[in-house]
Amino acid sequence: GDSVTQMEGPVTLSEEAFLTINCTYTATGYPSLFWYVQYPGEGLQLLLKATKADDKGSNKGFEATYRKETTSFHLEKGSVQVSDSAVYFCALSHRDDKIIFGKGTRLHILP
Amino acid sequence: DTAVSQTPKYLVTQMGNDKSIKCEQNLGHDTMYWYKQDSKKFLKIMFSYNNKELIINETVPNRFSPKSPDKAHLNLHINSLELGDSAVYFCASSQRGGTELFFGEGSRLTVL
């Protein structure tokens, strides 16, 4: 079945560092890919998405590119802030089907 | 206006009791979900309803019974609570399956 694998956390960085959180997937066909973010004490919210190969999703300085050849959707940000501290979830879905989440990666940003 | 709201936010109860969590969405979405998040933040889908009809039931004990009186509401009733039921339960909605999910703030259930 379909699955999502993302890097284990926690990831701890200093403010203004470059961030990469790796995500790879296993799926048939061409799923849509998502990154969700969960801030402390809140529900998940969509950060960005990509619906076809080579699409780049971007939001709030975060980017991820849908790479069909490597089945990856790595999340990147050039300069992180303390306010980016959260748990990040990679996810995939097929049309009219459930969304499958990775296990989440906790990110800590130190001032 | 809160898009997806769930109540209560916190529940603390004894083993063996029954409890309910309510969820309402005002986004006009057709599909609603219940997810369970454990202490390690792992998120697992429990149920999905589309326009009041159950479409996903993911090997959840039958002590858990969802009810959707209309497409804007999806409630979760849990009978005979066990220690392992302690978790944060999230309600979510989407326009249809596979599209962006909108989550509530979660209901933290603690079973003593």
Answer with the residue of higher pLDDT: B92 or B56: B92
Whole-angstrom distance, CA of residue B26 vs CA of residue A9 = 35
What are the pLDDT digits (tens) for B50-67?
A: 888 888 888 889 999 999
Residues B64-82 have pLDDT tens digits of 999 999 999 999 999 999 9
pLDDT at residue B89 tops 80: yes
Half-sphere exposure of A84 (CA within 13 A, CB side): 28
User: Please, what is the average pLDDT of chain A?
Assistant: 94
Q: What is the 3-state secondary structure (H, E, C) of chain A?
A: CCEEEECCCCEEEECCCCEEECEEEECCCCCEEEEEEECCCCCEEEEEEECCCCCEEEECCEEEECECCCCECCEEECCCCHHHCEEEEEEEECCCCCEEECCCEEEEEEC
Instruction: For residue A94, give the nearest of B45, B48, B98 by CB distance.
Output: B98
pLDDT band at A73 (very low <50, low <70, confident <90, very high): very high
Name the helix (H) or strand (E) containing B66.
strand B64-70
**Residue B2 pLDDT > 80, yes or no?**
no
Tell me the C-alpha distance between A31 and A18, whole Å: 28
The predicted pLDDT at position A95 comes to 76
pLDDT attached to residue A98: 82
Residue of A42, A49, A104 lying closest to B42 (CB–CB): A104
pLDDT for residue B99: 85
pLDDT score at B84: 94
Asked if A25 is an interface residue toward chain B (Cβ–Cβ < 8 A), one would say no
CB B2 within 8 A of CB B103: no
Contact status, residue A49 vs residue A38, Cβ threshold 8 Å: no
> What is the pLDDT, as a whole number, of residue B36?
96
pLDDT of residue A86: 97
The residue of B2, B33, B41 whose CB has the most chain A CBs within 10 angstroms, and thus the best one to mutate to test that interface, is B41
Cβ(A16)–Cβ(A110) below 8 Å: no
User: In this predicted structure, what is the pLDDT of residue B9?
Assistant: 96
Distance, in angstroms, between A5 CA and closest chain B CA? Answer: 12
Confidence of residue B96 (pLDDT cuts 50, 70, 90): confident
B112 pLDDT above the threshold of 80: yes
| Average pLDDT of the segment spanning A45-53 | 95
Are the CB atoms for A54 and A72 separated by under 8 Å? no
Check CB contact of B4 with chain A, cutoff 8 Å: yes
Whether A8 shows a pLDDT value over 90: the answer reads no
